[in-house]
Amino acid sequence: MATAHGNHNDHKHGEHAHAGPKLYWIFAVILCVITFIEWIIFKEKEAWGISNTVMIWTLLALSLVKFIMVCGWYMHLRFDSKVLTNIFVFSGLLAMAVFLMMKLSLPSMG
């Protein structure tokens, strides 16, 4: 048990080295920059001649990056038990699959 505890503490120290206030602030800046880029893309879509498809996938990719940053570091899934990541990823993907299927099954209109 003692060795397990020792390792546990080491792990905790590692966590602090990876994710301290400095990193949180760097991430905050990145999150803001991404949001700013999203906003610019939205604003300048016509001027830059971006097609709808490109815009949709770019914005989705950008928000996915934000999503992963918040979940992985701010919610420290990266440093926590894999059980938690599995719970979240499983339910999130299942919800997406279910509602995508529902949307596709509904008669399209409008």
Partner 1 sequence: MSEAAHAHHTTTGVENRKFAMWVLIASECFLFGTLIANYLVNKGRSISGPTPQQIYEIDITTLSTFDLLMSSVAMVLALHYCKEKDLRKFQFWTFMVVLGGVIFLGFQYHEFSTFVLKNGLGLSTNIFGSSFYLLTGCHGAHVTVGVLWMTSILLTSLIKGQEWFNSEIVEVAGLYWHFVDVVWIIIFTVVYLFVYV
Partner 2 sequence: MRCKGMTLLKMPLFVWATLVTQVLLILSLPVITVALVMISFDRTFGTGFFNPGAGGQVVMWQHLFWIFGHPEVYILILPAMGIVSEILATFAKKPLFGYTVMVYSSCAIGFLGFAVWAHHMFTTGLGPWATALFSAATMLIAVPTGVKIFNWISTLWGGQIRFTTASLYAISFVAMFTLGGLSGIMHSSPVIDTQHQASYFVVAHFHYVLYGGAVMGLFGGIFYWYPKVTGRLMNETMGKLQFWLYMIGFNLTFFPMHFLGLDGMPRRIYTYAGDQNWNFWNFLATMGAYMTAVGGALFFINMFSSLKFGQKASDDPWDGRTLEWSIPSPPPEYNFAKLPEVSHLDDWWHKKYTHDGKRLAPPKQPIVDLSSIHMPNQSFWPILLALGITGIATGFVVPANGVIIALVGVAMTVTSTYGWAYEEP
Site for partner 1, rule CB under 8 A:
1, 4-5, 7-8, 11-12, 20-21, 24-25, 27-28, 31-32, 35-36, 38-39, 42-43, 52, 55-56, 59-60, 62-63, 66-67, 70-71, 73-75, 80-81, 83-84, 87-88, 90-92, 94-96, 98-99, 102-103, 106, 109-110
Nearer to partner 2, 1 or 47 (CB): 1
List of residues contacting partner 2 (CB under 8 A): 91, 94-95, 98, 101-102, 104-107
**Which residue matches tokens 């979240």?**
88
Question: CA-based angle 63:66:69, to the nearest 5?
Answer: 150
Question: Residue 62, by phi and psi: left (phi above 0), alpha (psi -120 to 50) or beta?
Answer: alpha
Residue 58 Cα distances to 38, 80, 85, angstroms = 9, 30, 25
* Residue (47 or 109) nearer to partner 2, CB: 109
